[in-house]
Structure 1
């Protein structure tokens, strides 16, 4: 037997065996399914949030997949038909950016090779990157149905996307229109949630606009002076008495000499700048609304790449941000700049390429916000439950403010919008066919398809249904596994994902799936928090604190990483991952390994717990404690309290089983075999959290190996049995006696020494007999003789606990040094108490000191008084 458990020799091997046997499949646990179905199949379905094929997984993915796999393994062992659906997302913008950069390194632009050849390059990258991601998942030990792995651009999902688009188009929920949108000059159109707003330290430019044929002027402030070419008005607040006389007058834009009118609108913040603002309806979201209210001209001043056009006079051809300083310099020469100040504001950036996003009027495809109405209503009528519960408030707040969703993207990689334009009659139609035969209106074969692709989230919003075969058409014909999927596994049982994609993905799945099949996609939605570093900092490459899950697995093990993440997964609280916590769990695995080495001494006598009637009192006690543990673990998993479930297992195995059960068994060797049976069953309880170590220890204690026997991952998860309350109560008092004797010994500096005798007086209300249990107390308290008495023992050190008192005679014990130490502690504590009381009785101190300082002193005073009482009690025990 190895001295230590080596996960590197076990984890990959065990994973491969279990996968090859089909344990991850829907019916991989068919024996338990048959035993538990009671005339009806129980099903469990959970969807993997499909990772983007743009690189490797981060530690947040590891948390998501760990929690999903814990639920899947738990349900599988509980007799459910389980579908843990794996897959990958094509990630339009991100993936195209990666491949474009790869080509540019070779000196090639995508336009040089054309759309078809570029898309081939992206598919090549997908195969490479997707393989790396799946490798990481396998190393983590997750158990999805790999045979059903999907990709958001596989043939079946392509058909589902087209079907969803055409349905929405025909209902009038999808339309093409000129709206102001978020525009990235590199990546094109973005939805609101694809824009990251960050603090930006820039400048506030105070510009002079002169009245026509006059030396008089007004001053207005702007952070984007280059946009003044698109101004179609100047605006003041109608309540601003400073400027009411200016309303209706005209000023002249410098350089280009275009006249614009001064208008009034309550939108103007009279406290911002000078209280006068420029109105650029084509390049500012708020000005866009003002422009519509006042019928202003919408003047576009740069193209889709951010290049200034002829509206900007001699500055045409410059990139909009690069032109800023050049334009300001020219305005300064002309005397149109009054001053420039440092200014900090929020600026929007593209979430992928980090380019500054521009408000831009563009003709795009939109999903109308009304698509979400029914989903919002159903959620708030109890159709879905959030964990933690407060996330429903965020969901409602965002959904009710939902704007029309821009779904067209100016990319080559993605689902090309299934809309066709007839070049002869001008008819526009949506079609599920890749290549329609002709225009449905004039039958012309002269037509073309919209070149844009759909927003990535449009396809991933269909994930709960498209992966189950909805809309897949003929693409999966002959694949019997999907024929009844919607009936069996929809709605999905639950969703587990990070809260940061609540609006990117979760909300979109809610209204996309509801619209397609008239049911919300899942009942329970568990949103976990972020994984941060040990100091609570968000992980980022710039900070150098990013954690690669593969590194953690290689250094510790998949089991240790999984269990650590589960221990830290408190609902609604960020996870602080540290080496200290991982080392704590490593120590736990060592504890379990050493426990199994001890239990192996009696392996030949082990039986399964389900067939085992405990004969020893210690066996009955630990089985009762185990049943309580099982009950708590099940309850916590069912409520998605993963940290509480893991912590319950940890405490039972470390504290109750190893620290007490094994040590107590040394006083009764007959109980070791029974403890072995309990330990084996506890490995099943641990299995969803630590699948490899639990498997290994179970087979070691069974005298088998995974290679020649069934895995515990497809055995029954422990169920709660009757608890032996009487035996449990007896052993609780035995353990309390041991602890009390140890404390009493420590009071006379005999903590590690064996003593001749000790006396235990049970409280009068305790009607039990511990005569048959003295061997346990003697062994663990290191005492030759324990006697039970009904009165106090004079001249002894005393320890009083909840149910009993312990007396250790002082005969022959030199207590002078102990008394000296205790008196010294007493003097020190009395001084501390006097000092703190004086401070707290000082009215001036109490009036001026911070509340935290006052409370700290109060807490210190109470603590010192408690310690003094204990010291005085110990001194009294010495006479």
Structure 2
């Protein structure tokens, strides 16, 4: 018997050989055709802060499958790898490291902090790339990029300076989402969570002593920044107080009562306080009414002098003492429980504040052309059916994309961090002139020629550099830096990218921004197709999280099972538009599939040591012609599903062909046709080429095993041609369909006489179709365990009969003692008759029916129906035996 397959040894060994031979690189594919077919896909660059998680494993597996398929199909293929500097996340990791060492970033300074961040990048980035290799993915590693490498820094400056000079990037004092730890955030970096809070009902007294108003707030610590009280202009209850002044509790600062239609008259008392500097809606009201914008805490959330005795406290810590003082002074009427949405920083989970800050913004106008082209492309494809009739796969994601883009607001692109792309804006110390510059150190101020200037201290949002990812690794904007990582023709060859595969959860973080940047700078949408996969959940459908203890580590799964099993499982479960439920039973199912592949090769080599490739052999035997024809259908179907990114369907077709058709039938047929084994081996080797993109290790191993070679001696399957245009023979398929039908019919008939697994002497077959009986006979006899099959033209008496669509089979009962079988069926008949009588009696008893629970009545009716159906079958069997 052949050598044992040990995944852990084979996978590491084979991967090194593949990579050393340069198979992953653009020029490493000997199958590249001369018709200009190019394929490009960009790896969503994982952050250099963590390790491979199951979502990464799904993304990279699907990308690897399609890239391997395109390589084998003759495309000039580029799968661009890279990692992301992950501004906030990386800075948080390094800050925690420093705190553990008893210091802070401020104490060591910006330069030394950045050195630590680069060290973190080298360590973590190297780990995640190692983990990707363990999964068997094959991007062009020699071209690996990092979003802060020298060339991509040039691209970021190119994009920023161009957008700045075009007026799309401006600096404004504007209300932003503010994390007191991480600084400014864009809207989509805020995660809104439902929390149990409180409604504080406060009293504001009129300055003239004429009475008081009651208002409610969820954030009493911000009331020091109130600059108005507001009622609806149509609210007749408050007409006489509009324009009057009230006193701010504890401070006695005077603020006016104003009217604005924003107020909901039906909610609460219809009186609302206005805090323009600390509430998004109040900010707009403040601008409309020219109110004062009073900040009551600083960037770190520390309350200031406007808050009197509470100055110096952190905003959230200050809430309790402020409320206690208000209660003691009689300013709080009541406190209600209140469930509401609160924004949290997507990285550190800190509560986010609406905060007025001077930041850099990218205008939403810049995205309008990409929005228009996306809608236009989608309509054109829907009308023509091109690209499966859609830009997004599944197609429904276009609705989410356009809904969000139609409401697009200016993007806050500046971050108060040290780690990241430094904003390339400079301000002259002498004349105050501000300008954007691609140079790290401009020669002088363009206006007054002074050499004294200051660069903006902030960095760009991580997603700004990631938004250029569809084109920057191809050389766009790199200004000649790191030229050895890309070719001069890359932009022309690989932009637009052929396909983007990513999780739907970063559609707006990343996909939408690549769309706007790509269209703006290249005048073309960056992707021909966009595949959005769903989440990987646990086997019960719950989202994976460390707190739940249900996180699946893909590297653990590789060690326990194999990379092939993980890859095939994820592909098989990746139904477009559906979350994946991943559990042990799925992995077990596909572990069995790898065993099936291995056992099939072992069977083939029981009689023949080595096998030719399909292209090098003429298929002549009926079984060989039949299995080749079935392979032809599988090839066409797998191609069609991969071309439309239906990875689960492609995996399912492979699974069914290998397991059900080749192994369950083809190999069994071969036991009756030894002369076809060589042909089956060639067909199986061709099948392994189809399996290769999904399960590259075991397919390569078995291919060489069947060829009598080793990977060290020969080429890998991954650079052979993907199967195409296999010979089809419908006549032979029709004949083997009849053969299979006859075998199944005889097996059913044998069950009736309790001889399902026993050999019988004789069976007759009456056919409704014409087939080559000489070819069919040995297959039917072998697989039905019948010593002699005889084809007849008439019904046979004294026989067990089974009737199917195209034939009838008869098992003669003359030589079989039918007494035990008849006695057994008679006992079953009597038992069923007693059960039917009992249930019928109960259901005909009016008193029972009136008093019994509905579910009991229903169970009895179902039981009666089932017993009746069984009795009909038993009586039919008895009749056939008599």
TM-score past 0.5 threshold: yes
Query: Residues 478-532 of structure 1: CA distance to partner in whole angstroms, max 9, x if unpaired?
Result: x284211101111110000001000010001000111111111111000000000
Residues 207 and 219 in structure 1, CA contact (< 8 A), matched pair in contact too: yes
Distance 1:838 1:650, change over 3 A: farther
Q: How far apart are residue 820 of structure 1 and its match?
A: 3.0
Query: Residues 169-198 of structure 1: CA distance to partner in whole angstroms, max 9, x if unpaired?
Result: 011000000111100000000000100011
Q: How far apart are residue 868 of structure 1 and its match?
A: 5.9
2:85 is the alignment partner of 1:94: no
Q: How far apart are residue 866 of structure 1 and its match?
A: 6.2
Match of 1:267 among 258, 262, 267: 262
- Please identify, of 120-129 and 201-210, the stretch whose mean Cα deviation from structure 2 is larger: 201-210
Q: What are the residue-to-residue correspondences of 1:826-865 with 2, within 5 Å?
A: 826-827=832-833
Distance 1:434 1:835, change over 3 A: farther
Q: Please, what is the CA RMSD of the aligned residues?
A: 2.5
- Separation in 1 of the partners of 2:652 and 2:799? 40
Match of 2:799 among 796, 816, 833: 796
Residues 628 and 727 in structure 2, CA contact (< 8 A), matched pair in contact too: no
- Separation in 2 of the partners of 1:393 and 1:675? 49
- Separation in 2 of the partners of 1:654 and 1:422? 73
Alignment correspondent of 1:18: 18
- Separation in 2 of the partners of 1:222 and 1:576? 43
Residues 742 and 781 in structure 1, CA contact (< 8 A), matched pair in contact too: yes
Q: How far apart are residue 767 of structure 1 and its match?
A: 2.7
Q: How far apart are residue 272 of structure 1 and its match?
A: 3.1
- Please identify, of 407-416 and 783-792, the stretch whose mean Cα deviation from structure 2 is larger: 783-792
Residues 347 and 356 in structure 1, CA contact (< 8 A), matched pair in contact too: yes
Residues 833 and 864 in structure 1, CA contact (< 8 A), matched pair in contact too: no
Residues 633 and 645 in structure 1, CA contact (< 8 A), matched pair in contact too: yes
2:389 is the alignment partner of 1:392: no
2:548 is the alignment partner of 1:553: no
> Partner of 2:702: helix, strand, or coil?
helix
Alignment correspondent of 2:809: 806
- Separation in 2 of the partners of 1:212 and 1:320? 28
Q: What are the residue-to-residue correspondences of 1:503-518 with 2, within 5 Å?
A: 503-518=508-523
Alignment correspondent of 2:594: 589
- Separation in 1 of the partners of 2:493 and 2:842? 68
Residues 433 and 445 in structure 2, CA contact (< 8 A), matched pair in contact too: yes
- Separation in 2 of the partners of 1:242 and 1:469? 66
Alignment correspondent of 2:428: 422
Residues 631 and 726 in structure 2, CA contact (< 8 A), matched pair in contact too: no
- Separation in 2 of the partners of 1:715 and 1:44? 17
- Separation in 2 of the partners of 1:508 and 1:453? 18
For structure 2, list consecutive stretches of 5 or more residues without a partner in the other structure. Answer: 379-389
Q: How far apart are residue 372 of structure 1 and its match?
A: 1.2
Q: How far apart are residue 748 of structure 1 and its match?
A: 2.2
Q: How far apart are residue 772 of structure 1 and its match?
A: 2.7
Alignment correspondent of 1:110: 105
Residues 628 and 720 in structure 1, CA contact (< 8 A), matched pair in contact too: no
2:412 is the alignment partner of 1:409: no
Match of 2:877 among 870, 874, 877: 874
- Please identify, of 660-669 and 263-272, the stretch whose mean Cα deviation from structure 2 is larger: 263-272
Q: How far apart are residue 11 of structure 1 and its match?
A: 0.3
- Please identify, of 768-777 and 823-832, the stretch whose mean Cα deviation from structure 2 is larger: 823-832
> Partner of 2:801: helix, strand, or coil?
strand
Q: How far apart are residue 854 of structure 1 and its match?
A: 12
Q: How far apart are residue 834 of structure 1 and its match?
A: 6.2
Q: How far apart are residue 269 of structure 1 and its match?
A: 2.6
Distance 1:295 1:843, change over 3 A: farther
Alignment correspondent of 1:440: 446
- Separation in 2 of the partners of 1:81 and 1:152? 25
> Partner of 1:467: helix, strand, or coil?
helix
- Separation in 1 of the partners of 2:841 and 2:57? 52
- Please identify, of 213-222 and 606-615, the stretch whose mean Cα deviation from structure 2 is larger: 213-222
- Separation in 2 of the partners of 1:635 and 1:819? 51
Q: How far apart are residue 220 of structure 1 and its match?
A: 1.5
- Separation in 1 of the partners of 2:518 and 2:179? 29
Alignment correspondent of 2:569: 564
Q: How far apart are residue 615 of structure 1 and its match?
A: 1.5
Distance 1:105 1:2, change over 3 A: farther
Distance 1:743 1:9, change over 3 A: same
Q: What are the residue-to-residue correspondences of 1:490-639 with 2, within 5 Å?
A: 490-604=495-609, 606-639=611-644
2:707 is the alignment partner of 1:702: yes
Residues 822 and 881 in structure 2, CA contact (< 8 A), matched pair in contact too: no
Residues 603 and 703 in structure 1, CA contact (< 8 A), matched pair in contact too: no
Match of 2:377 among 371, 376, 382: 382
> Partner of 2:470: helix, strand, or coil?
helix
Q: What are the residue-to-residue correspondences of 1:54-203 with 2, within 5 Å?
A: 54-203=49-198
| TM-score with structure 2 setting the length | 0.95
> Partner of 2:127: helix, strand, or coil?
helix
2:663 is the alignment partner of 1:655: no
Residues 664 and 776 in structure 1, CA contact (< 8 A), matched pair in contact too: yes
Distance 1:620 1:824, change over 3 A: farther
- Please identify, of 795-804 and 175-184, the stretch whose mean Cα deviation from structure 2 is larger: 795-804
Distance 1:690 1:423, change over 3 A: same
Q: How far apart are residue 212 of structure 1 and its match?
A: 2.0
Match of 1:783 among 777, 783, 786: 786
Residues 603 and 702 in structure 1, CA contact (< 8 A), matched pair in contact too: no
- Separation in 1 of the partners of 2:601 and 2:844? 57
- Separation in 2 of the partners of 1:505 and 1:821? 71
Distance 1:453 1:849, change over 3 A: farther
- Separation in 1 of the partners of 2:810 and 2:703? 43
Residues 209 and 219 in structure 1, CA contact (< 8 A), matched pair in contact too: yes
> Partner of 1:137: helix, strand, or coil?
helix
Residues 205 and 341 in structure 1, CA contact (< 8 A), matched pair in contact too: yes
Alignment correspondent of 1:683: 688
- Separation in 2 of the partners of 1:838 and 1:786? 51
Q: What are the residue-to-residue correspondences of 1:280-299 with 2, within 5 Å?
A: 280-299=275-294
For structure 1, list consecutive stretches of 5 or more residues without a partner in the other structure. Answer: none
- Separation in 1 of the partners of 2:45 and 2:726? 40
> Partner of 1:412: helix, strand, or coil?
coil
Residues 88 and 347 in structure 2, CA contact (< 8 A), matched pair in contact too: yes
- Separation in 2 of the partners of 1:495 and 1:834? 64
Q: How far apart are residue 849 of structure 1 and its match?
A: 8.4
- Separation in 2 of the partners of 1:614 and 1:744? 35
Residues 88 and 151 in structure 1, CA contact (< 8 A), matched pair in contact too: yes
Match of 2:359 among 353, 359, 364: 364
Alignment correspondent of 2:776: 773
2:236 is the alignment partner of 1:231: no
Q: How far apart are residue 778 of structure 1 and its match?
A: 1.3
Residues 361 and 411 in structure 2, CA contact (< 8 A), matched pair in contact too: yes
Residues 826 and 872 in structure 1, CA contact (< 8 A), matched pair in contact too: no
Residues 832 and 864 in structure 1, CA contact (< 8 A), matched pair in contact too: no
- Separation in 2 of the partners of 1:28 and 1:149? 16
Alignment correspondent of 1:672: 677
- Separation in 2 of the partners of 1:832 and 1:309? 86
Query: Residues 338-396 of structure 1: CA distance to partner in whole angstroms, max 9, x if unpaired?
Result: 11121111110000000000001111000001111111111111167000000000000
> Partner of 2:117: helix, strand, or coil?
helix
> Partner of 1:22: helix, strand, or coil?
coil
Query: Residues 194-243 of structure 1: CA distance to partner in whole angstroms, max 9, x if unpaired?
Result: 00011111111111112224373222211111111111112223344443
Q: How far apart are residue 858 of structure 1 and its match?
A: 10
> Partner of 1:243: helix, strand, or coil?
helix
> Partner of 1:504: helix, strand, or coil?
helix
Query: Residues 611-657 of structure 1: CA distance to partner in whole angstroms, max 9, x if unpaired?
Result: 32212111111111111110110011001010110111111111111
